[in-house]
Amino acid sequence: MEAFITGIGWVSKDSMGYPDHIQQFDKKTTLPGIKRKDILNHPHKSFGRMDAFSKLGFAAIAFAMNDAGIKEERDKKNISIIASTVTGCLETDMNFQETILKKVPSPAIFAYTLDSSFLGEASIYFGLTGESFVINEEKTNGLTGLLMALEIIDSGVSDIVLCGMCNSDIKILNAYSHIIKPGSLFFVIEKNSLHSYGTIKATSPANFYYQQDIKITGLYDLAQKCCNRYEHYED
Amino acid sequence: MNPVYITKACAVTAMGPDLESLYNGLMDQKSGISKITRFNTQCYTSPYAGVITGLDHAKKSSLIFQLSAMLTEQLGTIGSDTFLISASTKAGIDLLEENITKSKMIPKDLFLSSLTEYIALKMGLNNKGININSACASSTIAVAKGASLINMGAVDSVLICCMDIVSEFVFSGFSALGAMSDEPARPFDKNRNGLSLGEGAAAILLMNEKKIKACGNSPLCRITGWGIASDATHLTAPAKNGDGLKLAIKKACKKAKISTDDIHAVNTHGTGTKYNDSMEIAVIHAMFNPNQVIANSIKGAIGHTLGAAGGIEVALCVKMLQKKMMPGTIGFLDPEKSTQKIISPDARPLTGDCILTTNSGFGGTNAAIIFKKI
């Protein structure tokens, strides 16, 4: 199974954006507060209502779509989304739990107490009608999601898949910093493309190769290799 | 492409500790929904839910692990190379209240992957597996993805374990959204006014032919088609035109290489909310022959078990194909014109050799699976 990587988008403590449009941060201790204007060209009334986890994932999806040249329009498109996470929306769960303790459970917060809520938001905003689900793993490297993304393309279910990962950055999770990399990273993977960062293929569920023979160990490794190749051509 | 078979199907629901008690209870038109005492429901819009006898907070762990133990003890031994996919929307969320009030340290058991790891350890598997989370279609999608992995040749067998519990966290949320019925849910009934929550679990073991021969298992039925699609319309309400569900069914039929005319029975999502049930009936009228197809919902009997719903319904579909009967819809008392003939409170014989099950969820997610008798 093989496909082309046509877009990359991310939000980290260091920077956010995509290779052609990177916003660097001076303060690198926390993830940025994400504003609608940072990521979208058009107004989106739901954006302000989203929880921090959803904004984090939504932003990386929007950056990746932009990088791949997929227009910010709501006409329906057969594009699938797969996201991997360790933390999920635990921070939002805690915020909702506080409203229960105050005897006023908030329906607005409850709507975002599913790890998959941001996939729903992305599918609504961008008109994505393909498959959509979250994978929860311990120490996720995102490769199971990548295998499933390649399978979706290979089987003809969708020709384009957004595949990535999203993890919160909250203090109470510091004890798990060895298994959690806070931030979000998404790739646009396409069956056909003339302009791409290169190819990705799976030869077995455990073996993934960039540009035919460069073994990758996870999605962050893949992003690094794609960006290195991009910088090489830019130079 | 490798054919995919179901070789084991187990369930634990408010109707009883196994699949047999669920099927028999439904055939006897019983309901597992009752007033709950697990937490105070006075502030909420309903006192009802389908809870499982024997789950007890006094045991000092999340109810999800107790439920998981009840499920896995039914499974017996399975090959250690079986790939595990769990499906749960909130897993051990009942631990949150205790920890947000009593401790600043969050236990790892609050991560959804902890449930998957627990099952993997309990079953002696050589992989930690993954959890699939896509709202109320989580376990339908988990079964579909498990089937895909076998179909493409990535693995020989997949164990899907799905479960969710009735917690105050989720109960209060659905109450706040105004989605719960103040009486036990009445799917497709003219006077339906919301859902009842429930808890439950199911395990589905999928294998290819090679693995079946090696293990000496007997296949119960074949999974021939599956499809997943998004509405791309609204975060918490279904698309009124049912476009996402239609697309999921079309994909499943295409994979199974059949038309909707070949499907005579549909296990619906049937939550009991106005919008969901109207959307599903509209889809049935648009895609199937209403004089030929019969459909049911089990959520009036066991409640809406969220991430476990699809898996429990898959297990029940296996039973329906074996018994050649479709149980009636508990709580369906007063039909609308559009549901006449399609939905019934009574059990009916199955015609044809395949059955379709569908689920939809928040975020506009939809999934459909087609099973064929062997």
User: For residues A191 and A205, is the Cβ–Cβ distance under 8 A?
Assistant: no
Mean pLDDT lowest for which of A92-101, A223-232, B38-47? Answer: A223-232
What is the C-alpha to C-alpha distance for residues B82 and B159, in angstroms, rounded to an integer?
Answer: 6
Pairing of strands B197-198, B48-50: parallel
Q: Are A13 and A169 in contact (CB under 8 A)?
A: yes
Cα angle at B150 between B145 and B152, to 5 degrees?
90
Domain boundaries, chain A: 2-197
Selected residue of A80, A94, A110 to mutate for chain B interface (largest B Cβ count, 10 A): A110
Alpha-carbon gap, residue B139 to B310, rounded angstroms: 5
**Contact present, A148 and B145 (Cβ < 8 Å):** yes
Per-residue model confidence (pLDDT) at position A43: 86
How does residue A172 score in pLDDT terms, banded at 50, 70 and 90?
low
pLDDT at B149: 95
SS3 A93: helix
pLDDT of residue A111 exceeding 60: yes
Q: Is the pLDDT of residue A235 over 60?
A: no
Q: Could you tell me the fold of the domain covering A2-197?
A: Peroxisomal Thiolase; Chain A, domain 1 (3.40.47)
ipTM: 0.96
Segment B315-327 shows an average pLDDT of: 98
Contact B94, B49 (CB under 8 A): no
Confidence of residue A233 (pLDDT cuts 50, 70, 90): low
Q: Is the Cβ pair B363, A123 closer than 8 Å?
A: yes
Runs of H (alpha helix) within chain B: 19-27, 63-72, 94-102, 112-122, 138-151, 168-177, 209-215, 243-256, 274-287, 299-302, 309-323
For residues B58 and B56, what is the distance between their CA atoms, to the nearest angstrom? 5
Give the model's pLDDT for residue B20: 98
Residue B45 in contact with partner chain A when CB distance is under 8 A? no
Residue B318 pLDDT greater than 60, yes or no: yes
Going along chain B from its start, the domains and CATH numbers come out as 4-215 (3.40.47.10), 221-372 (3.40.47.10)
Mean local confidence (pLDDT), B282-305: 97
Helix (H, G, I), strand (E, B) or coil at B150: helix
B43: its two tokens: 């502030």
pLDDT of B77 strictly over 60: yes
Three-state SS string across B263-290, please?
Answer: CCEEECCCCCCHHHHHHHHHHHHHHCCC
Check CB contact of A20 with chain B, cutoff 8 Å. no
Q: Count of A–B CB contacts within 8 Å?
A: 174
Q: Residues, chain B, total?
A: 374
d(CA A202, CA A219): 13
Taking a C-beta distance cutoff of 8 angstroms, is the pair B133, B307 a contact? yes
Chain B residues in contact with A155 by the CB 8 A cut-off are: 148, 151-152
